[in-house]
C-alpha cells in the first residue's frame, strides 16, 4: 500500500510489528477476534509474549482472558487472526507448547491415576503405540516430585484436593518439556501451599529461559509474581513490563468502575504516569 | 456336553460373546463421555437402514443390509450433530428428535413396501434371532477340525468375529488419544489431536459393532451391551485399563449366562419352550449392573476408602 | 386426498374420529409435558420410561390370564405398563443419585434391560395357549388398525385427563422448568413437582402405547417441545405452543393414517411432527438456521469491516483476505488495496471514535457504558451527542487520514 504521508491519527496501540512472519517471540497473536454468538469475546487483539518472562493476562470476568489463550491454541475457532509460535505456524510448533487448562474443565471422576495423567504429557513423544518404558515413568515421577506430589502417584485423581489436582496438571505440563507454558487460572481455588509450589516451579521455568503465560485474576499478587502484564477487556488495553504498565490508569481502563479506588490504593502499583 | 451342544449352542454362545465384547469396548468410552445414549440412537436407526438397503437393492443379502444399517447409523450421527449445532439444542433432545424420526420413517417404508414376503421385520431387528444360528453340520467337538463342517458355520459368526477383532485392534491402536481426549478435551486439542475426528471415529466404530451385532442378536442386546457392562465395570475400579477388562468379563458372562438361562431356564421351571436369548442376555447384564450398583467397591461418587488429602 | 379430507373432518367413521381426537389430546399433553422434560435437559428420561412399559404389559397379560380374565383388556395392560414404567423411572433416579454413573448411562441401562425383560416375557406369552393371538407386539409400534371401540374411548378419555392434568399443573411446571431455584425460593416443592411431571409423562406414555407404540411415543414427548423452542423465548408460550404443535401432529397424523391402508398411525404422527420440526429448524425467524447463517455472515463481515478500517486508520498493511474482500465490496479500497476517498473518510471517523473511546473510558467510570468498548458498538449508541462533543473538546480538531 502506498502510504506516503505520516500517520495522521496514531491509534492507541503503539508500535506493534504487524508482519507475524517476522516475529520469533514464543507466542504472538495478531488481529484475533472470537465471538460467542453476536458479541465479540475478544476483538482484534494483538499480543506478544516473551521468552524468559512470566506474563499475567488480567482483566475482569468475561473479558476474554481464557478465550485469548484457547483461540491462540486453536482450541476454539476464531473469526479472524493469526498466530505465530517461535516464528512458526501453530501446527509446526505444537511440541514446544504446554497447556494447562482450567481445573474445572475436566471430569475428575475419570477412572485414572495421578501418574497416568502426568504420562499424558508424554503423548507427543511416545505417539500411538510405542511402549512406555521405565524411563518414561521415571521422568513422570520426577515431574510429580517437582510439584511435591510424588507420594500421590498411584492415587485416583478424584481423591485429590483442588490444589493437588492443579499441581498434577502442572506436572503434566512439565512432562511435556516445552518452551512455552500457557496456564489458565492456575491459582484459582488452590491453597496457599500449592500457590507457593506452583510459583516456585514457574520461576524455575523462567530461569531456564522458558516463556510462562498465566491467566490470572488476583491483582494483589501481580507485581510479586510476574514480570509482564497483558491487560484485556474484550480489546487489548495495554501490555508490557509490570513496572511500566501496571498503573492505576491502565487498571481503570481495563476494569472501569468495577475496581473501587480504595482497592486500587492497596495494590502494589506503579506510580501513576 | 456333547454333540448336541456343539450343534445347537456353541455358535449362538460364541456369537453372543463376540457381539457383546464388540459393543462393550466402545461402550466404555461412550459411557465415560456421557454419550451412552448414542448407542441407543444407533441401534434404533438400524431398522430404517436395512429397509432402505432392501428397497434399493431388492435383496436381503447380508452385505447390502449391513451397509444400509451402517449408512443409517452414520446419517443419524451426523443428523444429531447437525441438530445440536445448528439448532443449539442439548444432545439428549437432539438424539430424541433424530432417532425417533428416522425410526418412524423406517417403519413407514417397511409398511409401504412389499417386504412382508421376505424375511425382514421389525421384531427381528429388535429381538434378533440368536437361537437360530446353529451349526447344522456339526457332529460333535471333532467337527472343529473338520473343514467341511467348518465351512458350514453360520455366516454371522465369521462376520461378528471380524468386527470384534477390528474393534479390539482399533481400541488398542487409538488407546492413548481416546483416553486423553475423553479425559481432557481441551488439552488434547492443544496437543494437536484431531478431537472431532476421534469422537466421530469412536461413534462410527460403535455403529459398525452395533450393525454387525444386531443381525444376530437384535438391537436390544446392542444397547444393553453398550451400556451395562461398562457401567458395571466403572463401579468395580478406578482405573480405565481395569475397567475395560471388567467390561469384557461382564459382557462375556452376560452372553453365556443369558443364553443358558434362556435355553435351559424354562426347563428348570417345568416349562417346555425356551425364551428369547437376546432378551435374557440383556436381563442378565442388567442383573450384573444392579449387583455392581449395590456392592461394587467403587460404586459411590465420593469413592469408598477415600483418604483425607494431606 | 378426499379420504384424507374426509378423515380430517371426522368423516371417516366413528372409531377413526375418536382416534383422531384422542391423538390430538394425547399430542397436546405430550407436547406440553415433554417441554418440561426438555427444559430440564432430561428429554431422554422419557425413552427409559417408554421402554420400561414393555415388561408391565407382559406381566399384566400373564397375571390377567392366570386370574381367568381376558388378557387383552387394554385398561389392564396399561395399568401393568404404568407399574413397570414407574419402577424404571425410580431406578433411573436412584442410579444417577446413589452411584457414580451419570444419568445417561442410567437411562440407557434401564431402557435396554427393561426392554430385554419385556421381550423375554413376550416369548413366554407366545408359548402360552391363550397368548398366540395376544397381539402384544402391537405395543412396540402401536396399531390402530382393528382397534376396538372401547380402546378408542380409553385413548380419548386418557388424552382428556392428561390435558386436564397439564392445565392444573401449568403454573408450578412453568416455574420449575425455567427457574427451579426461584421456584424453590417461592415455596414450591421442586421435588414433588418434578415427580408430578414425571407422573404426567408416564401417563402420556402409557396412553400413547396403543396408538403410537413405546418406541415412538418418545418422539411425541420430545419433538414438539424442541420445535416450539425455535419460535419463542417465553416460558408459557413454549409450553402451550408445544402442546398445540403436538395436538396438530397427532390430529393430522391420525387423519392421514385413516385415509389409506399401510399408513401406520404412530410413524405418520411422528413424521408430521418431524416435518414441522425441520421447517422450524431452518426457517424460524430468530433461532432458525437460515436466520443464524445470515446473521453469522453479516456479523463476520462487520468484524472484518471494522478491523480493516482500524488498519487503514493506522496505515498498516492488511493481509487477511476476507478483510480485503469486505473492504473492496464496501467500496473502501480499490482492487490494488489502496484506500478510496470514502475509505479514508471512514477510517478517519473510526480513528476518531477510538480516540473518543479513550477519553470516554478515562472520564466515565460507569462500566455499563465503557464496558461496551468491544470494537463493534458505535460510540453514538452509547453516548449522547453532547457527551461526544465534550470528548472532542479534549481530543482537539479532527484531521483526515491521508493517502493516495
Residue B39: all three cell numbers together: 448407542
CB atoms within 10 A of CB A207: 9
CB C399 within 8 A of CB C345: no
Q: Which residues of B touch A70 (CB under 8 A)?
A: 186
State pLDDT tens for residues A72-95: 998 998 888 889 999 888 888 888
**Per-residue pLDDT at B233:** 96
C295 located within any domain: yes
Query: One digit per residue, pLDDT tens: chain C, 404 residues?
Result: 666 777 666 666 777 787 888 889 889 989 988 988 888 888 899 999 999 999 999 999 999 988 888 777 888 889 999 999 999 999 999 998 889 899 999 999 999 999 999 989 988 888 876 655 667 777 887 776 666 777 778 878 888 888 888 888 888 888 887 788 888 888 888 888 888 888 889 988 988 888 888 888 999 999 999 999 888 877 778 888 999 999 999 999 988 888 877 788 889 999 999 999 999 998 888 778 888 888 888 888 888 888 888 888 887 778 778 888 888 888 888 888 788 888 888 888 888 888 888 788 777 766 666 667 777 788 888 888 888 888 888 877 666 555 44
**In this structure, are C264 and C298 located in the same domain?**
no
CB C334 within 8 A of CB C343: no
Lowest mean pLDDT among A71-75, A240-244, B41-45, C175-179: C175-179
Task: Of A15-29, B69-83, B241-255, give the range with the top mean pLDDT.
Answer: B241-255
State pLDDT tens for residues B117-156: 555 566 677 777 787 788 877 777 777 877 777 887 888 8
C172 located within any domain: yes
**In this structure, are C269 and C351 located in the same domain?**
no
Q: Which residues of A touch B186 (CB under 8 A)?
A: 70, 75, 99, 101, 105
Percent of chain A with pLDDT over 70: 86
CA angle (B126 as vertex; B120, B128 as ends), nearest 5: 75
Nearest CA in chain C to A79: C300
Mean pLDDT, all residues of chain B: 86
**Per-residue pLDDT at B130:** 82
CB B212 within 8 A of CB B19: yes
Q: For residue C10, how far is the Cα from the chain centroid?
A: 30
Measured on CA atoms in the order C369, C370, C374, C375, is the torsion positive or negative?
A: positive
**In this structure, are C126 and C259 located in the same domain?**
yes
Residues contacting B144, CB < 8 A, separation 6+: B6, B150
Whether A112 sits inside 8 A of B307 (CB atoms) is no
The count of domains in chain C is 2
**In this structure, are C252 and C294 located in the same domain?**
no
**DSSP string of A177-232, one letter each residue:** T-SEEEEESTTTT--HHHHHHHHHHHHHHHHTT-EEEEE---GGGHHHH-SEEEEE
Distance between CA atoms of B28 and B119, rounded to whole angstroms? Answer: 33
Residue B65: all three cell numbers together: 443390509
The range of the structural domain enclosing residue C387 comes to: 290-395
**In this structure, are C21 and C103 located in the same domain?**
yes
Residues contacting C275, CB < 8 A, separation 6+: none
**In this structure, are C315 and C272 located in the same domain?**
no
Distance between CA atoms of C74 and C81, rounded to whole angstroms? Answer: 10
Distance between CA atoms of B148 and A66, rounded to whole angstroms? Answer: 66
**In this structure, are C83 and C121 located in the same domain?**
yes
Placement of cell 412399559 in the chain: C53
C402 located within any domain: no
**Per-residue pLDDT at C55:** 94
Distance between CA atoms of A136 and C234, rounded to whole angstroms? Answer: 57
Residues contacting A92, CB < 8 A, separation 6+: A85
User: Higher confidence at residue B29 or residue B58?
Assistant: B29
- Kind of pairing, strands A27-36 and A39-49? antiparallel
Nearest to A18 among C300, C317, C404 (CB): C317
CB A58 within 8 A of CB A226: no
Which domains does chain B carry? Answer: 2-218 (1.10.3470.10)
**Per-residue pLDDT at C398:** 60
State pLDDT tens for residues A37-80: 778 899 889 999 999 999 999 998 888 999 999 999 989 988 88
Distance between CA atoms of B80 and B202, rounded to whole angstroms? Answer: 15
Which element (helix H / strand E) includes A90?
helix A90-93
**In this structure, are C294 and C222 located in the same domain?**
no
Whether B36 sits inside 8 A of C112 (CB atoms) is no
Answer yes or no: is pLDDT of B116 > 60.
Answer: no
Quote the minimal CA–CA distance from C95 to chain A in Å. Answer: 16
Measured on CA atoms in the order B69, B70, B75, B81, is the torsion positive or negative?
A: positive
**In this structure, are C312 and C274 located in the same domain?**
no
- Kind of pairing, strands A97-100 and A180-184? parallel
**In this structure, are C115 and C57 located in the same domain?**
yes
Provide the 3-class DSSP secondary structure of residue B53.
Answer: helix
**In this structure, are C213 and C163 located in the same domain?**
yes
Lowest mean pLDDT among A239-248, B166-175, C136-145: C136-145
CB A253 within 8 A of CB A238: yes
Q: For B90-98, what is the mean pLDDT?
A: 91
C124 located within any domain: yes
Last residue of a domain, one of C264, C281, C298: C281
Whether A111 sits inside 8 A of B173 (CB atoms) is no
CB atoms within 10 A of CB C84: 24
Amino acid at each position: 500500500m502506498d502510504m506516503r504521508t505520516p500517520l495522521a491519527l496514531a491509534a492507541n496501540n503503539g508500535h506493534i510489528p504487524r508482519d507475524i512472519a517476522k516475529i520469533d517471540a514464543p507466542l504472538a497473536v495478531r488481529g484475533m477476534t472470537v465471538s460467542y454468538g453476536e458479541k465479540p469475546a475478544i476483538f482484534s487483539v494483538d499480543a506478544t509474549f516473551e521468552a524468559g518472562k512470566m506474563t499475567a493476562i488480567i482483566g475482569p470476568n468475561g473479558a476474554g482472558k481464557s478465550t485469548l489463550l484457547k483461540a491462540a491454541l486453536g482450541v476454539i475457532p476464531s473469526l479472524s487472526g493469526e498466530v505465530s509460535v517461535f516464528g512458526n505456524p501453530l501446527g509446526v510448533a505444537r511440541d514446544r507448547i504446554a497447556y494447562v487448562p482450567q481445573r474445572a474443565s475436566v471430569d475428575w471422576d475419570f477412572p485414572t491415576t495421578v501418574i497416568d495423567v502426568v504420562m499424558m504429557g508424554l503423548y507427543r513423544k511416545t505417539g500411538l503405540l510405542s511402549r512406555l518404558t521405565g524411563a518414561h515413568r521415571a521422568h513422570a515421577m520426577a515431574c510429580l516430585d517437582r510439584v511435591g506430589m510424588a507420594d500421590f502417584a498411584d492415587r485416583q485423581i478424584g481423591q485429590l484436593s483442588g490444589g493437588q489436582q492443579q499441581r498434577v496438571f502442572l506436572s503434566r505440563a512439565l512432562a511435556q518439556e516445552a518452551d512455552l507454558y500457557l496456564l489458565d487460572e492456575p491459582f484459582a481455588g488452590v491453597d496457599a501451599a500449592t500457590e507457593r509450589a506452583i510459583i516456585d516451579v514457574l520461576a524455575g521455568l523462567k530461569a531456564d529461559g522458558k516463556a510462562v503465560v498465566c491467566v490470572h485474576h488476583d491483582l494483589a499478587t501481580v507485581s510479586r509474581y510476574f514480570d509482564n502484564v497483558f491487560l484485556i477487556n474484550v480489546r487489548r488495553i495495554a501490555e508490557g513490563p509490570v513496572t511500566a504498565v501496571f498503573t492505576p490508569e491502565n487498571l481503570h481502563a481495563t476494569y472501569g468502575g468495577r475496581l473501587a479506588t480504595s482497592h486500587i490504593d492497596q495494590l502494589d502499583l506503579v506510580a501513576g504516569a | 456336553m456333547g454333540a448336541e451342544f456343539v450343534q445347537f449352542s456353541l455358535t449362538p454362545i460364541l456369537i453372543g460373546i463376540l457381539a457383546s465384547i464388540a459393543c462393550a469396548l466402545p461402550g466404555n468410552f461412550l459411557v465415560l463421555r456421557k454419550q451412552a445414549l448414542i448407542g441407543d440412537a444407533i441401534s434404533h436407526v438400524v431398522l430404517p437402514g436395512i429397509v432402505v438397503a432392501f428397497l434399493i437393492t431388492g435383496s436381503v443379502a447380508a452385505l447390502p443390509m449391513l451397509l444400509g444399517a451402517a449408512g443409517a447409523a452414520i446419517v443419524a450421527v451426523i443428523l444429531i450433530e447437525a441438530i445440536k449445532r445448528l439448532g443449539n439444542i442439548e444432545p439428549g433432545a437432539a438424539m430424541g428428535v433424530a432417532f425417533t424420526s428416522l425410526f418412524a420413517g423406517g417403519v413407514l417404508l417397511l409398511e409401504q413396501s412389499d417386504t412382508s414376503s421376505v424375511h425382514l421385520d421389525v421384531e427381528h431387528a429388535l429381538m434378533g434371532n440368536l437361537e437360530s444360528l446353529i451349526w447344522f453340520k456339526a457332529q460333535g467337538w471333532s467337527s472343529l477340525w473338520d473343514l467341511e463342517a467348518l465351512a458350514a458355520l453360520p455366516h454371522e459368526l465369521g462376520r461378528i468375529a471380524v468386527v470384534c477383532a477390528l474393534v479390539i485392534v482399533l481400541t488398542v491402536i487409538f488407546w492413548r488419544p481416546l483416553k486423553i481426549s475423553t479425559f481432557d478435551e481441551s488439552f488434547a486439542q492443544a496437543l494437536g489431536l484431531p478431537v472431532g475426528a476421534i469422537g466421530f471415529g469412536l461413534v462410527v466404530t460403535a455403529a459398525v459393532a452395533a450393525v454387525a451385532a444386531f443381525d444376530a442378536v437384535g438391537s436390544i442386546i446392542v444397547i444393553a451391551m453398550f451400556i451395562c457392562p461398562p457401567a458395571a465395570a466403572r463401579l468395580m475400579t478406578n482405573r480405565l485399563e481395569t475397567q475395560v477388562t471388567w467390561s469384557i468379563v461382564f459382557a462375556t458372562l452376560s452372553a453365556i449366562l443369558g443364553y443358558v438361562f434362556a435355553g435351559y431356564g424354562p426347563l428348570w421351571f417345568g416349562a417346555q419352550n425356551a425364551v428369547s436369548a437376546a432378551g435374557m442376555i440383556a436381563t442378565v447384564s442388567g442383573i450384573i449392573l444392579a449387583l455392581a450398583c449395590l456392592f461394587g467397591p467403587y460404586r459411590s461418587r465420593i469413592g469408598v476408602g477415600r483418604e483425607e488429602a494431606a | 386426498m378426499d379420504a384424507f379430507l374426509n378423515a380430517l373432518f371426522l368423516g371417516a367413521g366413528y372409531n377413526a374420529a375418536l382416534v383422531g381426537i384422542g391423538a390430538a389430546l394425547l399430542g397436546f399433553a405430550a407436547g406440553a409435558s415433554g417441554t418440561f422434560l426438555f427444559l430440564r435437559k432430561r428429554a431422554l428420561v422419557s425413552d427409559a420410561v417408554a421402554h420400561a412399559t414393555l415388561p408391565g404389559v407382559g406381566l399384566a397379560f400373564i397375571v390377567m390370564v392366570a386370574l381367568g380374565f381376558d388378557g387383552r383388556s387394554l385398561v389392564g395392560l396399561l395399568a401393568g405398563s404404568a407399574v413397570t414404567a414407574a419402577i424404571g423411572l425410580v431406578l433411573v433416579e436412584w442410579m444417577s443419585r446413589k452411584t457414580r454413573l451419570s444419568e445417561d448411562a442410567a437411562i440407557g441401562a434401564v431402557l435396554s434391560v427393561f426392554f430385554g425383560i419385556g421381550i423375554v416375557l413376550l416369548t413366554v406369552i407366545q408359548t402360552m395357549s391363550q397368548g398366540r393371538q395376544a397381539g402384544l407386539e402391537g405395543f412396540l409400534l402401536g396399531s390402530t388398525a382393528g382397534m376396538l371401540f372401547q380402546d378408542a374411548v380409553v385413548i380419548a378419555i386418557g388424552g382428556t385427563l392428561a390435558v386436564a392434568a397439564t392445565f392444573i399443573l401449568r403454573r408450578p411446571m412453568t416455574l420449575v422448568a425455567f427457574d427451579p431455584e426461584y421456584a424453590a425460593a417461592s415455596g414450591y416443592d421442586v421435588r414433588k413437582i418434578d415427580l408430578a411431571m414425571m407422573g404426567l409423562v408416564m401417563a402420556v406414555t402409557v396412553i400413547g402405547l396403543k396408538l403410537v407404540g413405546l418406541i415412538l411415543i418418545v418422539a411425541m414427548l420430545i419433538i414438539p417441545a424442541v420445535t416450539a423452542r425455535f419460535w419463542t423465548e417465553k416460558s408459557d408460550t413454549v409450553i402451550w405452543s408445544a402442546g398445540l404443535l403436538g395436538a396438530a401432529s397427532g390430529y393430522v397424523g391420525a387423519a392421514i393414517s385413516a385415509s389409506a391402508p399401510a399408513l401406520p398411525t404412530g410413524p405418520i404422527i411422528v413424521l408430521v411432527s418431524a416435518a414441522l420440526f425441520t421447517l422450524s429448524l431452518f426457517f424460524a425467524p430468530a433461532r432458525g438456521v437460515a436466520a443464524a447463517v445470515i446473521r453469522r455472515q453479516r456479523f463476520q463481515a462487520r468484524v472484518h469491516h471494522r478491523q480493516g478500517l482500524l488498519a487503514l486508520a493506522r496505515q498498516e498493511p492488511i493481509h487477511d483476505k476476507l478483510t480485503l474482500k469486505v473492504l473492496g465490496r464496501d467500496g473502501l479500497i480499490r482492487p490494488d488495496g489502496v484506500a478510496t476517498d470514502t475509505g479514508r473518510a471512514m477510517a478517519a471517523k473510526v480513528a476518531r471514535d477510538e480516540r473518543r473511546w479513550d477519553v470516554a473510558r478515562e472520564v466515565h467510570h460507569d462500566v455499563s457504558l465503557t464496558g461496551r468498548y468491544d470494537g463493534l458498538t458505535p460510540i453514538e449508541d452509547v453516548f449522547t451527542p453532547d457527551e461526544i462533543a465534550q470528548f472532542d473538546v479534549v481530543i482537539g480538531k479532527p484531521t483526515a487520514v491521508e493517502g493516495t
